[in-house]
Chain A
């Protein structure tokens, strides 16, 4: 949705992190060789969810622009595809994960920008998660590289 309220942005984050965590759970079961790393991504996603919720519930205040903090953001632009076809190859699955991560990173960066002057800890949490996820992209790349070199 366009110009979402803070509440709907947080609900969107919860769904984003939960869906992507489920995606990594499935991936880790399917590809045991990378299972540990992928499972750690899932765990981290659920932690991200809690971090964002805690930040929001900690700073949301009647004095802040909660209903108007995310003007110009459209959450429809950041919907992720987490479906894993049964015959998807290892490389394609990880490529899909990278695509998903890039979209989530873009969301966090774009959502942090308009809220920066308004919601204190929330945009800071978004930026920290985006930065962590950039590291994850390198790891995913590494996993693909290791497989290709085998």
Chain B
């Protein structure tokens, strides 16, 4: 099978998009963007100066009054045009994601589709943003509630879904009348640059959407800036809780901080084994395990040794067959880690698992790669057995293609494991029992619950939830939560003499 054509032929010099213009950075600091599968440099990212970040904020602030007064219908017409442009550029956007991140082409297309769905939902703003009213709250007095935009918002994007995550927020923010600054991940910013070209083409007025490249320093400027009304962030709990959430509290900003995860997949003996195994493979090894909804711990419930063996054998057989290589090769089922650092981190966890007594039954440390590619970022699927909930690998987020198999005496035991873990992003159960499913839905303290679903990813019209150390904030991204996040409630009580 041929490798799909690469859309990036030579290294790109990336720029900032500020006030409707593509601006060359004045910085002397650059970072190479490397295709993790091939090892080739595909772009140079400017580490923007404080002045450049401030000019993006100023542009967004200046654009706000007029954009806020633009009718909701006119605002969403820009989104309709954007949606069309996204469909036209679907394949190029997807292949860029594979080149900058490493994920397979199916996964990149999936990410593109999810991003488009956010735009589609946000085009409903003229209906979704409506308030409510009640006549005669007292004699001749009426009361009504309206939702108003606040000003400038920003998104600090992660590397694992470089294209989609800013779209969890931006369409809702601008549709409700706010202006926006995207700060892409410095590891894989190219799809955001391409997306900004489409914002420009879609006809958003200058300053409504801005993009500024950079690293932690740029984030600090945005967090401190008094003109930023709110921040959305996706990344580690360490940064999300101790930096983003704390700083937003100090500076009075609204915040959505979607953070780390350790997702438990509970396997009941009455599950549909074949379908469960297919779901497990995507859950644990999709995106090379670099997603906050990845399965991490497979908890097999009950004392039925025959079922346990059957499940583990099937899991191992399927995991061992996963074809690893360059994601633009259509035959590939798992791409590389996004960076050598990410790979080193996973290797560290594998060592830790071994030293704490877990049994390494599938070792992905010396990768078999389909095709002639450097192994710098590659790993193969890894499986640990005889894992206990106290082990580091069972407690901490590995963010790589490692599955831990744990046994639980019964469903109560499994639920206790989940609820004792510090994270609460997602959990799923695989069963044919409605009673078991209800227990999971009712008792598990996680924001997203799956019943026979491996990746519990809420659609654009539902909030992307999260609990405990997986989420900091009040309202979530996506859906009606996002609309509330990007608007202030105003109540008008009216009497005419």
Contacts and interface: CB of A to CB of B under 8 A. Distances in A.
Nearest to B286: A67
Interface stretch (A17-25, A57-65, A78-86): A57-65
Contacts of B106: 5-7, 60, 66-67
B286 A7 contact: no
B281 A62 contact: no
Contacts, number: 88
B113 A5 contact: no
- Which of B90, B330, B333 has most chain A Cβ within 10 Å? B330
A117 B430 CA distance: 14
Interface residues of A, number: 24
A58 B104 contact: no
A65 B114 contact: no
A39 interface: no
Interface string B426-466: 00000000000000000000000000011111000000000
Given A5-B332, A8-B331, A62-B455, A118 B278 contact: yes
B107 interface: yes
- Which of A58, A61, A117 has most chain B Cβ within 10 Å? A61
A123 interface: no
A57 B279 contact: no
B333 A62 contact: no
A69 interface: yes
Contacts of B321: 3
A70 B453 CA distance: 17
Contacts of A60: 106, 109-110, 113
B105 interface: yes
Interface string A38-78: 00000000000000000001111111111111010000000
Nearest to A71: B278
A33 interface: no
A1 interface: yes
Interface in B89-132: 90, 104-107, 109-111, 113-114
Given A62-B164, A69-B278, 5 more contacts: A5-B105, A7-B105, A8-B331, A63-B114, A67-B282
